[in-house]
């Protein structure tokens, strides 16, 4: 719906009631990231802990959602159990278009339900349902049950958590429509602490397309760019797993808890191998004609003789790195099995894989024993890792409960802080060098998608801290407007400033179209201000010693450059928050 204000559903789980409110300010707050930060300012509490029932869980979409290709994501904001600071996570699936067709720009959930519940919302209903019978169920079974129970197949989005979220793990994700997630920084635990097992969003409304004759022409232009040119073909073809062999080739693939940057048996887990042996089909988020989601299969024998069942499992570069190269697992089916187990438990695969990589090295070094690990952890042993993943989600002892709150929290108690592969949170799959390490460690979401530090590392040999920091700041500036749309960041080379302005203009958002650079700066400032207000101090971020020991195609990491860069970026972030 095109309008100059936001339509927001605010639901209080404690009271079991919700109401739709309107909020002025579309021309300054845009949507997505910017709207989420604004709503956190209105509903959130910087001084209360993440699990206080008053804290909100926020979902927000943007002005172009549903109108243009790849405007397919939702921004999810909350105070994170990982660091008790403001956090943002992005997910796709059908979530964004379901919100659009439910006629909502945002959903704000506060309070705590009296019993495990499922919140169902649509354009004509709001209902909190008892879901005690789903509590304890894994993510897949919960999804299956809800798909049977909720009407609107193809129009509804089902967000749910697994046991990890119920137990309060800071690595718990929110699963979105099976193959997408609000993956990082513990959104699943925020739902768990609210007794909220699931959210079903029914996109059951209708709205007319814009009458402006420029709109269909512009849509066609964008559609052609994303489908009929090479700009995005990599994502559909082999997908992001293409990076596995590329990074391995330049010795920049984190392997075995980053003790190595290449893997001698990499062929077993390259994109080509996954495609040839395991790929069943591609899937897409609603509103995306591209389909970057690669779905392979795993099968298990459940009865003699030759009785098998199979499951479909999505894979991408980050997942293959986290439970493949990082754990020394070099068979594509073993990797898919580990992803499958992790997904069912409702754990973020990246965080879980990197945490277990640290635990394995700690086990090998005798820092922890089988008393803590409960299984003899060993790089390459996928069967023991399946057990360990269950322990990580359910937390049967102090060690796993602590590890589920973050690798560095376990390392602080047991030792091994030097080799925790943590850059703000468990690292993403790039060992490209100093700029990426600093970019993820200090970045807003501690994500490889905050800014392309990995790309800067690959294109620049000189070590100029100020130049690198300027790149990170400018790259973030472009991305914050896209995440306020909320665009899939894979389309960042398509949706440049001029095209974004044309798209906004075609829908009648003239003020937004005319003020992109100013608004981007404003959003960048707002987000950092919100983050700092909840306790983030970039000067205090630690980069563990392991990252100084990395050697890749450029040679060993330069500790002095890493230090200078971190200091310069931290100071710049403080300036950005002041504006
Ligand atoms: S490119 Fe992939 S992640 Fe992005 S919107 Fe399309 S299917 Fe979803």
Would the CB of 235 count as within 6 Å of ligand 1?
yes
Question: Rounded to 10 degrees, what is the CA torsion of 365, 341, 51, 150?
Answer: 180
* Relative orientation angle of helices 349-364 and 407-414, to the nearest 10 degrees: 20
pTM listed for this prediction: 0.97
The C-alpha atoms of residue 23 and residue 122 are separated, in whole angstroms, by 19
Categorise residue 98: left if φ over 0, alpha if ψ from -120 to 50, beta otherwise. alpha
Q: Vertex 181, ends 177 and 184: CA angle to 5°?
A: 165
The residue whose CB lies within 8 Å of the most ligand 1 atoms, and thus the one to mutate among 449, 490, 492, 494, is 490
pLDDT in tens, 242-272: 999 999 999 999 999 999 999 999 999 999 9
DSSP classification of residue 554: T
Q: Is the per-residue pLDDT at 197 higher than 80?
A: yes
pLDDT in tens, 64-91: 999 999 999 999 999 999 999 999 999 9
Q: What is the pLDDT of residue 458?
A: 95
- Do 413 and 364 form a contact (C-beta atoms < 8 A)? no
Q: Is the per-residue pLDDT at 1 higher than 70?
A: no
* Relative orientation angle of helices 139-149 and 332-345, to the nearest 10 degrees: 60
| Closest protein CA for atom 2 of ligand 1 | 292
pLDDT in tens, 117-137: 999 999 999 999 999 999 999
Would the CB of 482 count as within 6 Å of ligand 1?
no
Half-sphere exposure of 313 (CA within 13 A, CB side): 26
Cα dihedral sign, 329-331-335-341: negative
Q: Which residue has the higher pLDDT, 151 or 355?
A: 355
How far is the centre of ligand 1, averaged over its atoms, from the C-alpha of 251 (Å)? 28
Half-sphere exposure of 184 (CA within 13 A, CB side): 27
Would the CB of 95 count as within 6 Å of ligand 1?
no
Order across the sheet with 180-182: list the strands: 126-130, 117-121, 196-202, 156-160, 174-176, 180-182
Q: What is the pLDDT of residue 579?
A: 74
The residue whose CB lies within 8 Å of the most ligand 1 atoms, and thus the one to mutate among 75, 91, 92, 242, is 92
**Residue 49: CB atoms within 10 Å:** 11
Residues 6+ apart with CB under 8 A from 327: 256, 338, 353, 356, 357, 360, 379, 380, 382, 385
pLDDT in tens, 351-396: 999 999 999 999 999 999 999 999 999 999 999 999 999 999 999 9
| Closest protein CA for atom 7 of ligand 1 | 284
Mean pLDDT of the chain: 97
């Amino acid at each position: 719906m095109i309008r100059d204000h936001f339509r927001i559903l605010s639901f209080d789980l404690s009271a079991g009631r919700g109401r739709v409110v309107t909020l002025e300010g579309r021309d300054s707050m845009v949507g997505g990231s910017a709207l989420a930060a604004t709503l956190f300012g209105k509903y959130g509490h910087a001084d209360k802990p993440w699990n206080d029932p008053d804290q909100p869980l926020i979902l927000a979409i943007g002005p172009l959602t549903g109108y243009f290709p790849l405007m397919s994501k939702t921004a999810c904001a909350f105070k994170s159990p990982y660091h008790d600071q403001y956090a943002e996570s992005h997910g796709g699936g059908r979530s964004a278009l379901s919100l659009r067709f439910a006629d909502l720009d945002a959903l704000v959930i506060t309070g705590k339900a009296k019993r495990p519940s499922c919140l169902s919302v649509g354009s004509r209903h709001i209902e909190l349902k008892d879901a005690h019978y789903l509590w304890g169920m894994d993510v897949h079974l919960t999804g299956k049950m809800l798909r049977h129970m909720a009407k609107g197949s193809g129009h509804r989005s089902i967000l749910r958590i697994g046991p990890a979220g119920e137990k309060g793990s800071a690595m718990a994700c929110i699963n979105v429509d099976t193959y997408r997630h609000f993956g990082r920084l513990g959104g699943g635990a925020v739902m768990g602490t609210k007794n909220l097992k699931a959210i079903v969003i029914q996109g059951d409304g209708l709205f007319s397309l814009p009458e402006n004759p420029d709109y269909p022409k512009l849509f066609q232009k964008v559609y052609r760019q994303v489908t009929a040119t090479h700009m995005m073909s990599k994502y559909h073809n082999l997908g992001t797993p293409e990076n596995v062999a590329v990074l391995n080739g330049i010795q920049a693939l984190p392997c075995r808890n980053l003790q190595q940057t290449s893997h001698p048996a990499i062929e077993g887990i390259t994109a080509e191998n996954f495609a040839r042996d395991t790929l069943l089909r591609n899937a897409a988020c609603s509103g995306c004609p591209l389909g970057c989601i690669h779905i392979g299969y795993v099968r298990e024998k459940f009865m003699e003789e030759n009785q098998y069942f199979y499951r479909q499992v999505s894979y991408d570069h980050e997942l293959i790195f986290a439970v493949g190269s990082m754990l020394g697992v070099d068979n594509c089916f073993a990797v898919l099995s580990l992803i499958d187990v992790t997904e069912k438990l409702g754990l973020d695969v990246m965080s879980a894989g990197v945490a277990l990589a640290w635990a394995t090295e700690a086990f090998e070094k005798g820092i922890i024993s089988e008393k803590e690990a409960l299984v003899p952890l060993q790089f390459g042993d996928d069967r023991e890792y399946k057990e360990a993943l269950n322990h990580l989600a359910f937390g049967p002892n102090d060690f796993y409960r602590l590890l589920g709150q973050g690798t560095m929290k376990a390392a602080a108690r047991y030792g091994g802080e030097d080799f925790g592969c943590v850059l703000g949170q468990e690292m993403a799959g790039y060992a490209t060098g100093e700029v990426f390490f600093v970019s993820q460690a200090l970045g807003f979401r501690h994500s490889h998608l905050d800014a392309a530090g990995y790309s800067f590392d690959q294109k620049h040999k000189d070590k100029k801290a100020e130049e690198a920091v300027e790149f990170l700041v400018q790259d973030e500036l472009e991305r914050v407007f896209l995440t306020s749309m909320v665009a899939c960041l894979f389309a960042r080379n398509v949706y440049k400033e001029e095209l974004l302005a044309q798209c906004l203009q075609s829908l009648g958002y003239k003020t937004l179209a005319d003020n992109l650079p100013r608004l981007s700066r404003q959003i960048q400032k707002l987000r950092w201000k919100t983050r700092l207000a909840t306790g983030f101090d970039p000067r205090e971020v630690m980069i563990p010693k392991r990252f100084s020991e990395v050697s890749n195609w450029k040679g060993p990491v330069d500790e002095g450059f890493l230090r200078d860069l971190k200091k310069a970026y931290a100071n710049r972030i403080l300036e950005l928050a002041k504006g």
